[in-house]
Structure 1
Amino acid sequence: MSAVLEAGEPTISSREDAPHEEPFLNPDVIGHICKFLGTSDIKNCRLVSSPWNYGATPILKVRSRITLEFSPGYDDDGHPFGADLGGWDISDVVKKLEFYPGNVRLAIPSTEYNLPPPDFAMFPFDNNFKSICVQYPLGDQFHWQRELFTKFILSSSTTLEQLKSEWLEDEVSLDFPLLGGTVFPKLTKLGVGRYFDSDGAVKRIGRAIAVSFPNLKYLKANCDYLVAMSEDGLLPNLSRSLTCLKLGGDLNTNGLECLLKIPASLKKFVLGNGHPLEFEIDDRVDELPTIFYKLLKKHAPTLEHLDLDMSWINEEENHLQWKFPVFPVLKKLCLDYADMLTDVVFEKSGYFGPINYAINFPVLETLYIFCSTKEASRVEAFLPPEMNCQVVPSVKQVDVRIRNYPGVLDQIKIYVRIMALFPNARDHVVSNLQRLLNLA
């Protein structure tokens, strides 16, 4: 039996009579455990007890992106909410912010409404976001949303690591916040893709890249912004820590030449990001292959991943010879329906000629070539004839797909040549061959 309490004196009771206490587990250990769990499991861990909630919540914040909607969305049938704005309340945003999320998406799900501005005092501006994905549309009806979004971005200047602009489904032209020279020392990843049509937005993007983001490592952008930076003399100020550059949009010879001013040494370079990078045939088009070669050669010593998808505007054809330098550390090469590259030669000692993998791509591990029938010559450029007796043991994954190729047998012959050239990619080639036979 337990001892009787008298006058509030503490008593010593037996282990059997002691009240059950939850075994202590360091929240840091809980957090480490949660790093190996899925997001749904982490949410369940928060329900176990206060220590588990305390240890699991920071991991959930890092893992999750919370969407904050600053206009009414759509109903179950995909229609905008009616005039009563049912199902949406700006106070819901405040409630979500009380969770202090690290990653947020500032969204305007419907452009049907011209809403009155709320009292900004209701929003906390001490969240210290690490990642913001923002819809920042042009138009007077979005004035207060842009002002509010800018305050969220600026208030996280010391903690923000990633900023991405996201287009709206209605394809409304986007704007870009005026950062006023504010420096974001931790921001390493920036995505500013399509729909920045105004000159003001383009110039603000260029200035932000050059001034506000000094430690940028990853940049996904349209070529227009870098060309504008070059015209303003800002491109040499681009962060030297930049290692990944993904470019989309349209370009001409002068624009490609501007990219030579990039001071960084890239590890990953993508020309054509989801859509082909379209080139204009201008009065300097004959210089395009030489500038292209200089650009690749500039980054070749550090480049580990090269992805090219380049085409002529309006499907114009211009037969030029494209020169590839030696890539001493390149591990992955992707040619995604790059219909400009119909005639390709490779650098040797003092001249250009057929490919020699031991010289041109000595450590290549992955090769993807996707093309249409009219560009099949590019496949031949990367598959030397058997008389050369080249064997490339470093390549582990390879795929060659020719769209609308006339005969399955001809494609099978290509796969046979690939297996002889890349013996350590045999399993990968066999799986692709099986896919081809299933389609046939």
Structure 2
Amino acid sequence: MPAVSPADKRDVSTQRPHTAAASTGSAAAAGGKTTVGEVAGGGSGSPGRARASHGTAFWFAAGAFATQMGFGTAPTPLWPLYEARDGFGPTTVTVAFALLVVGASAGFLGLGHLSDVHGRRRVIASALSVAIASAVVLIAWPSLPGLLVGRVLTGVGIGLMASTATTYIADLYSRSHPGRSASGVPGIVTTAANLGGLALGPLIAGIIAEWAPVPLVATQAAFGAVMAVFLVLVLLSPETVDSGSAARERPARFALRPAGAGMFTGASGMAFVAFAALGLFSSLGAVMIRGQLGIASPLVSGVAGFISFGSAAVGQLTMGRAAVRRLLGVGIILFPVGLALVAVSLSHPALWLYLIASAAAGAGSGLLFKASVGQVASVAVPESRAGVLAVFFVIAYIGMGVPVILFSLATQWAGIEPAIIGFAVLLSAGAAISVATVRRRLA
């Protein structure tokens, strides 16, 4: 779920590894227009269908990114409905949620680097296709095994999409605006698409579940249809990687600049704890609202999920031009305060306090993640940027999955209140250590 700060995006957008040079370069100079007959490999003009301009494709990619991320978090208010349909409890909810992490890890680590070699557009189209297949499985196989398979496929699609979309959006913007290499627009749009999509997923699913007659089917069908539209639009978009160059050396999957390992470790630790907090709201938020606060409305659960992810997006956009030290300073305050308030809101049940807590924790998570992904981008060797981001996202998504399973098990052993207090303390300590590590390595 990348969201690179404008300063970091300058480094991303000015690097154009493996891009088609002459023909697409002249097209960019003409305002980002591609020629009629440009082919998927990057645009040297054999006869065929027309492509969208780079500027238009920029928005296609952003819309596809947002929709697929929303599809990943759409089950947030639906987990109680799945519990009732298939007869399982909160621990199975966290396992089903964590299977998205398994799929995403496979996509990020095994496939996320492929766009550096085979092209951005091709990988994004594959990501959307896998996500659509996931929606079909979830509709056609209405049982726990179908849910589990569908969640794995959803994760694979996210793994293919996230790091590739970040790079593709930067590529397309630099092609359509060749004189604006330092612009913060790609970073802002990526943030809005990524976290905005994650925020809208629970809200849209909550609205559908509140009023649709068959909410589990209707939600999957709605997201599947929109992703199918974006699949067509992405297929009409230009490529930004010259995947047909036989002379081009294959980039390393994971390569850091000299002395970059320490920064990568600290930044990955921040992403791990940030995603652990967001994973708690995504997987068990609706369960906690129903069990501890006594509110069964899917719409309320959807609004709560929207607030946590939306606050992360707002925090990133509001502080989009802030220095990394500023991001770390504000994030490391909001993050533990939000988690502490979550514990208070569950021990002294109050929806308003839970919403404030999720907003604070979400904003803190968003700022810490923004700082972390920007630093990872800065220490990656440009030719393997997508591969480095893929490894980074695997670590972040493990944070989203494993801690919430442990939290669910802890609630069965010790109860919800001690478990949430322990969860808050451990994540806050992890955030503090990671932030200190990154600060020591800042220039």
Q: So what's the TM-score if we normalise by structure 2? A: 0.20
> Which structure carries more relative contact order (alpha carbon 8 Å, separation 6+)?
2
Higher helix share: 2
Higher strand share: 1
Say which one has the larger Rg. Answer: 1
